[in-house]
Amino acid sequence: MNRHFSFEFSAPRSPEATEKLLQVHDRLQVCHPDFFSVTYGAGGSTKDGTRQAVLTINELGSNVAPHLSFGGDPPEKIEQLLHDYQNAGIKRVVALRGDIPSGQMTKMTYANELVSFIRDKTGDHFHIDVAAYPEIHPESTSVESDLMFFKNKVDAGADSAITQYFYNPDAYFRYLDACAALDINIPIVPGIMPITNYQGIVRFSKNCGAEIPRWILKHLESYEDDPESLKAFGLDAVTKLCHRLLEGGAPGLHFYTLNQSLPTIHIWRNLDL
């Protein structure tokens, strides 16, 4: 089985942040990932940063997958971005529902509508990734409805999926079984979040609905005032998670880098990839 590995960057908010992102990109090149992705910014200047970072990474010779969402943008703007990326030779996008800014209305609400829109405007030019939630999207009302939202994205033309990060591998394998029961057969790549900071990972996990198992949380609490021990524990825990996922047949790994190189490189080396 061919496994695919990818690294995600957050959208840069300034020229200085863009320069740092490109430095991190250069360092991560030693891992030879299949592609880099760049998140879709929440505001106008950040969205411009996304586009510029994507096009620059593409010019540097790396495969890059820009994130796209309607998120309050008119369809015409998304269509223009698609054509910009298509003309640049970019072959992959990550289609997400995104957050709609407060007070704004949008014609498109769900990610499956965006997938259909991309297919309608660009045919089969793009490989389309979508999001998957082994621990269930925080806004979903039930397991069943969450799976049906995912199936709708697949039926609309998604080629593969990247999961929200998690630390319980059983949640991922159970999710695969549930998808298989619905005849969902696209590759579902686990999202991997390195652990380097106690407060940061707790806050981020609470916001996005990712569960931190109690045994991990208790270790992180005990190392809260010992950053080096916390990083060492986090590296060991996430490395073992990745081993378990790959040994269980995961089609690859997608690393949420948070625009840092060392945490991902350390895990990569531990995995001997």
Residues recognised as catalytic: 8
Query: Residue 8 is encoded by which pair of tokens?
Result: 């995600």
Residue whose pair of structure tokens reads 């992705």 in the numeric block = 37
Q: What is the C-alpha separation between 119 and 33, in angstroms, rounded?
A: 26
Structure tokens at 221: 């609490």
From 26, 87, 6, select the one nearest 51 (Cα to Cα): 87
Q: Count how many Cα atoms sit within 13 Å of the Cα of residue 151 in the half-sphere of its side chain.
A: 15
Separation between Cα atoms, residue 158 and residue 150, nearest integer Å = 10
**Which helix (H) or strand (E) element contains residue 93?**
strand 92-95
In this structure, how many other beta carbons lie within 10 angstroms of the beta carbon of residue 163? Answer: 21
Element housing 163 (H / E): strand 160-165
State whether residue 189 is helix, strand or coil: strand
Contact 160, 187 (CB under 8 A): yes
Cβ-Cβ contacts under 8 Å for 236 (sequence gap 6 or more): none
* DSSP state for residue 30 in the 8-state scheme: G
Three-state SS annotation for 129-150: EEEECCCCCCCCCCHHHHHHHH
Q: Please state, in angstroms and rounded to a whole number, the distance separating the CA atoms of residues 214 and 58.
A: 41
Which residue type does 237 have?
A: A
